[in-house]
Structure 1
Amino acid sequence: MPIEFVLDYRSPYSYLASTQITKLGAQVHYQPIDIVWVMKKVDNQPSSLDSPKVRYSVVDGVRWAKQYGVPFSPNVKLFDALMQGQVRSDLLSRAGIAGQQLGAFEKVSSALFTVVWGGNSDDLTSEEGRSKFAKSHALPPELWDVANSDDVGEKLATNNERAAARGVFGVPTFFVGDEMFFGNDRLSFVKARLQE
């Protein structure tokens, strides 16, 4: 039975889960969404970057990363640009969907998570930086053009609506069949469900 993995690259817990999900031995279907849009749709209040919850998630993320043996270092420049509206808020999820459409999702997704959370200092705040990012990670050169396309925008909207309709209120969220699991710390429950 496959796992559906609903994610947003801005989420530290989506990153952490992404480092472990393939170890469960099941086929994974990835569904990038704009979690801020979904949270507003389902009446769940997104946290501001200076909230106690977000500050705690950074500390907690370091703990989880240590447990998983993976790097954890948020790309502060990127998050500042996102907060100031210099980078469109849904660009990363669009890039993930573009990776799916270009048949390069695993490479694109891994590179995105690495640059957002894994300590890579690549610049995603400018066109030139994004072009260098694609080249340095051997990603399709048309990645960002496809990410900005109407087709990808429609797919993202579909993913968002579907997630909201299924009860998603945060990320990462996993589905095994119709059963929903929320949070990186629920992967053991996902594994147990797969084994049933």
Structure 2
Amino acid sequence: MTIEFVYDYRSPYSYLADTQLKKLSTDITYKPVDITSVMKAVNNHPSPMCPPKARYAVADAGRWAKHYGVPFTPNGGLMRAMGAGRFDGMLLSCAGLAAQELNIFNNAHKALFEAIWASTCDLTAEADRKNFFGERGIDAEELWSRASSSRIRDLLAKNDSEAAERGVFGVPTVFVGDEMFFGNDRLQFVRARLHGMPIEGAAA
């Protein structure tokens, strides 16, 4: 059975969920979105609009990272660049789509999450991008060039529209068939569905 993973690289909970999904031993269809566009379409509001919620989310994500045993060192410089409008965070999701076309998705997908949640890489600087992705066997110039194209942005907009139409209101969202599960803390329910178990029988 295949699951669909709807996510945005800017989401700490998407990062956390991604570290666990591969353990489900099932095929995964990756659907990057621009979550701000999806939220706008369904009249939801992102955490940064509520500073207390944003602070809590980072602290809570840190707890989950310890629980999972995965790195979690948010890239403050990159976040400030996005907040100041010096870096378009949507480009990360575009890079995920570009990586799919370039057949380098596995390496690039991991690197994109790592760049924001487990590194200090300055993606706004061409030299830093080249070094960061190059160390992971990825041609940063080719990836960024394709990610910046209007065609890839159109593909991302299509993903956004489809996600909103299916009822997505935030990320991470996982679909098992037509059944939707929202949040990193719902993966036990995803696991139950994949094994044909009732939700109430899901193991913690």
TM-score (norm 1): 0.96
CA RMSD, 1 decimal: 1.1
Deviations 1:59-88 (A, max 9, x none): 111110111000111000000000111011
Within 5 Å, give how 1:11-30 maps onto structure 2.
11-30=11-30
Return the alpha-carbon distance in structure 1 between the equivalents of residues 46 and 59 of structure 2.
Answer: 19
Within 5 Å, give how 1:97-176 maps onto structure 2.
97-118=97-118, 120-141=119-140, 142-176=142-176
Return the alpha-carbon distance in structure 1 between the equivalents of residues 61 and 176 of structure 2.
Answer: 25
Return the alpha-carbon distance in structure 1 between the equivalents of residues 145 and 133 of structure 2.
Answer: 11
Detail structure 1 runs of 4+ shifted over 6 Å in the superposition: none
Q: What is the aligned length?
A: 195
Contact kept, 8 Å, 1:130 with 1:144, in 2: the verdict is: no
SS in 2 for 1:137: coil
Flag structure 1 segments of 5+ consecutive residues without an equivalent: none
Matched to 2:127, the amino acid is: E
Give the structure 2 partner of residue 4 of structure 1: 4
SS in 1 for 2:30: strand
Give the structure 1 partner of residue 91 of structure 2: 91
Matched to 1:125, the amino acid is: T
Displacement of 1:99 in angstroms is 0.7
SS in 2 for 1:20: helix
Displacement of 1:137 in angstroms is 1.5
Q: Which shifted more, 172-181 or 131-140?
A: 131-140
Deviations 1:95-124 (A, max 9, x none): 111111101111001011111112x22221
Give the structure 2 partner of residue 46 of structure 1: 46
Within 5 Å, give how 1:171-182 maps onto structure 2.
171-182=171-182
Contact kept, 8 Å, 2:7 with 2:173, in 1: the verdict is: yes
Displacement of 1:50 in angstroms is 6.3
Matched to 1:41, the amino acid is: A
SS in 2 for 1:181: strand
TM-score (norm 2): 0.92
Give the structure 1 partner of residue 199 of structure 2: none
